[in-house]
A and B are shown apart, each in its own frame.
Chain A
């Protein structure tokens, strides 16, 4: 065995994986050294998650071998993977939100004590605190997971994976729901773990980050490896070229012209989460306003209040200068206000239903005659939206669950964008979407804006915040604490406001 030691920690060779009707992985080779941070990059549906699920024991490949420390292994279950020192932070959150942090961390692995083997609660909470320390998270282990933000929950997932004694830590888009500062913190944690000898595989669509943290990058395209890049070779252009196999035109340009005609006005709105704050802002016809802020600043709650999901405690909403009452999502939609929600698993999609059923669910009333669905019309719209957003799928009758994460997000967008809104609220619209498709979505927003739609886009990704809007509103602790015009906007200015600086 000794001669194999030099070969590195992990060697995957010729991995091939089929799903019904698709070859998700085709002869993929993948290597990992001890104490290395390696990025896995690729378009939506390229096979990144599938490759990692093979390593994590969730999928069995039809062909290929895996060697760990020079020994060939068959990873046929998550338990086997864990025993081999491999743990997984998934693209989707998998926590029980009615339980507290400690219980979630050690679910099924609780420390036990005494004759009756009861849960040793003292040790449970002490151990949890220790793990939370490791990732620099300072909150009580007794906090309910549902009281955490999505960003916070993501950190708990990472803590959980860490606590399963990891030699190899797989992270599938860990930063997609984190704000800049949280990402920074995550990178600190990752680097710290690397110095402890942990190897980290890390999937991301934020190519800027890849350069920052990765020692090496593997690029997948259509289930095949299209290139390996060493640290000094990594650049956005090269990554994109390997991802899509050609150069792409960079960044869209502003072409829409915002008018001065106010379309959507919020006056002194009080959101239940932050009863002391009053929120006021205006969006004009054809204007794209970005709502920036840290995760947990209250942006999602504000969006929910505007869409009638939660009842505001006070204030006024005006559409086209007339006050309207929004008591439910139906009211909002009738008035032409649409929300594309942030959490696709919880609010955006019905995972077990087909792509067609999901895309048409919000607009079903348009494809009916006496409440009988006109299936051909519904299917035509679903197909059209799938084409428009370039959703990669086999058929529109496929379950949404079997799409890749980014393609699920595209379905979420398709579902609401086919409604022809007057006011469009987007909550992290491009989460988990690859760079190429992102451009496509920005172009779509651009097109809607030039048709006069008023758009409010919540985003935590700095490039997006600075790039897509006519104006930036910054939120901090439930309050809109600043506004930046396109000219005033800079990363420093946004971060300064978002962290409560004046």
Chain B
């Protein structure tokens, strides 16, 4: 809980500083824009958190998002498949990819880094080959489907053009609402269901989890399935949002954003530790940073450097504060002893 308070403060501070420099940041359309992006990337990060909590990692989520996003556009527009069939196919494919990762990690005992790194290459290759490197999109139709990415609630309940101005600017973007829904489901899974405890337990100490009669293999596989499913879902939403999916680049590096969101959000790469709300805030921090860079007119070429630096400082500060308080305590104790003792002298 302390940790979540800490990153929540970090988020507010970054937002405050940006607002103080340039008030466009706090304008409704900008905030809603950040929320839309946070929704899209947040779904990726939430999924990613699960393999990390088992002590593994999933590097394939960016490629999965690219492949599934391209495939959904391709099936729906080019192949004119009914949406009710195409979307389940896309999600089923995502689930299957995670299942395979989990199998390789548990049954063949391959390292998660290697398995999912190969996934990263393979799915990218598949996307390019299957789409023949042609950019995919939904065209001008499918407005109902695009509502998932562009829709705003409660604005959508008003007839077009009749909503009050306040509602028009401060309606929540659909991706954010989907993120909240996914977050709630995963939070129940993690915090209230037996599975969450099993995953955290095996992330800390897989042996002890096995001795407790936990089917550690099955739980690990489930974690990878959650990750790939979230990646697929995010991929579909990204493709709807952008309406153009380039098979060779869509979702590039997204796995790293996902991991960054987790790390900032307090998911330990050692495994066994993580929190849904933290991951959402962590993702939001990264998105706010991007936005701030744009608004403040910092050279976009510096983008990556700034994001990297802020994450480094944020996560580093946590450690520094911890060891600082420890050292101060030692000094205090020394003071007490010097007063109470007879002529303190430190040997050695």
Contacts and interface: CB of A to CB of B under 8 A. Distances in A.
Interface of A: 60-65, 68, 71-74, 76, 80, 83-84, 307, 309, 328-330, 332-333, 339, 341, 346-353, 357, 361-362, 364-365, 368, 371-373, 415
Contacts of A362: 212-213
A62 B336 contact: yes
Interface in B61-108: none
A83 B193 contact: no
Given A350-B201, A357-B197, A330 B213 contact: yes
A329 B213 contact: yes
Contacts of A76: 330, 334
B213 A72 contact: no
Main secondary structure of the interface of B (DSSP, over half): helix
Nearest to A375: B192
A26 to B, nearest CB: 16
Given A63-B340, A74-B337, A352 B204 contact: yes
A425 to B, nearest CB: 11
Given A60-B333, A65-B341, 5 more contacts: A63-B337, A65-B340, A348-B208, A350-B209, A373-B192
Contact of A415 (B200, B212, B333): B212
A347 B201 contact: no
B343 interface: yes
A307 B211 CA distance: 9
B207 A60 contact: no
B321 interface: no
A257 B215 CA distance: 37
A377 to B, nearest CB: 12
Contacts of A329: 210-213
B205 interface: yes
Given A84-B348, A353-B204, A364-B197, A330 B209 contact: no
B213 A333 contact: yes
Nearest to B343: A72
B342 interface: yes
B333 A62 contact: yes
B205 A371 contact: no
B73 to A, nearest CB: 36
Interface in B328-348: 329-330, 333-334, 336-337, 340-348
Contact of B347 (A71, A307, A332, A333): A71
A415 B211 CA distance: 11
Contacts of A68: 347
Contact of B195 (A64, A71, A357, A371): A371
A346 B204 CA distance: 11
A349 B208 CA distance: 6
A392 to B, nearest CB: 22
Contacts of A346: 205, 207-208
Contacts of A60: 329-330, 333
A409 to B, nearest CB: 14
Per CB-CB distance, the 3 closest pairs between chain A and chain B, nearest first, are: A83-B348, A362-B212, A333-B213
Contacts, number: 104
B336 A347 contact: no
A14 B329 CA distance: 19
Contacts of A347: 207-208, 211
Interface of B: 188, 192-195, 197-198, 200-201, 204-205, 207-215, 272-273, 329-330, 333-334, 336-337, 340-348
B157 to A, nearest CB: 33
Contacts of A73: 345-348
A350 B210 CA distance: 11
Which of B197, B198, B211, B330 has the most A CB atoms < 10 Å from its CB?
B211
Contacts of B197: 357, 361, 364, 373
Contacts of A368: 193-194
Which of A60, A65, A80, A309 has the most B CB atoms < 10 Å from its CB?
A60
Given A61-B333, A361-B197, A371-B193, A350 B214 contact: no
A350 B205 contact: yes
B17 to A, nearest CB: 35
B346 A309 contact: no
Contacts of B272: 350, 352
Which of B188, B346, B347 has the most A CB atoms < 10 Å from its CB?
B347
B197 to A, nearest CB: 6
Contact of A72 (B198, B215, B344): B344
A449 B205 CA distance: 32
20 contacts: A60-B333, A62-B336, A65-B341, A73-B347, A74-B337, A309-B211, A339-B211, A346-B208, A347-B207, A347-B211, A350-B208, A350-B209, A352-B204, A353-B201, A353-B204, A357-B201, A362-B213, A364-B198, A373-B197, A415-B212
A68 B347 CA distance: 9
A144 to B, nearest CB: 18
A327 B32 CA distance: 54
A348 B194 contact: no
A140 B200 CA distance: 39
A63 B336 contact: yes
A361 B344 contact: no
Contacts of B204: 350-353
Given A76-B330, A347-B208, A373 B336 contact: no
Contacts of B333: 60-62
Contacts of A71: 345, 347
B193 A84 contact: no
A64 B201 CA distance: 39
A361 B214 contact: yes
A333 B343 CA distance: 62
Contacts of B212: 329, 361-362, 415
Nearest to A13: B341
Contact of B334 (A74, A80, A351, A352): A74
A351 B205 contact: yes
Contact of A372 (B193, B200, B213): B193
Contacts of A74: 334, 337, 344, 346
A364 B193 CA distance: 10
Contact of A353 (B200, B207, B344, B345): B200
Which of A61, A74, A83, A328 has the most B CB atoms < 10 Å from its CB?
A74
A62 B335 CA distance: 10
Which of B193, B207, B343, B348 has the most A CB atoms < 10 Å from its CB?
B348
B298 to A, nearest CB: 40
B12 to A, nearest CB: 29
Contacts of B329: 60
A61 B346 CA distance: 15
Contacts of B273: 352
Which of B194, B197, B213, B341 has the most A CB atoms < 10 Å from its CB?
B213
A349 B212 CA distance: 9
Contacts of A63: 336-337, 340
Which of B192, B212, B347 has the most A CB atoms < 10 Å from its CB?
B212
Nearest to A370: B193
Given A63-B340, A350-B201, A371 B194 contact: yes
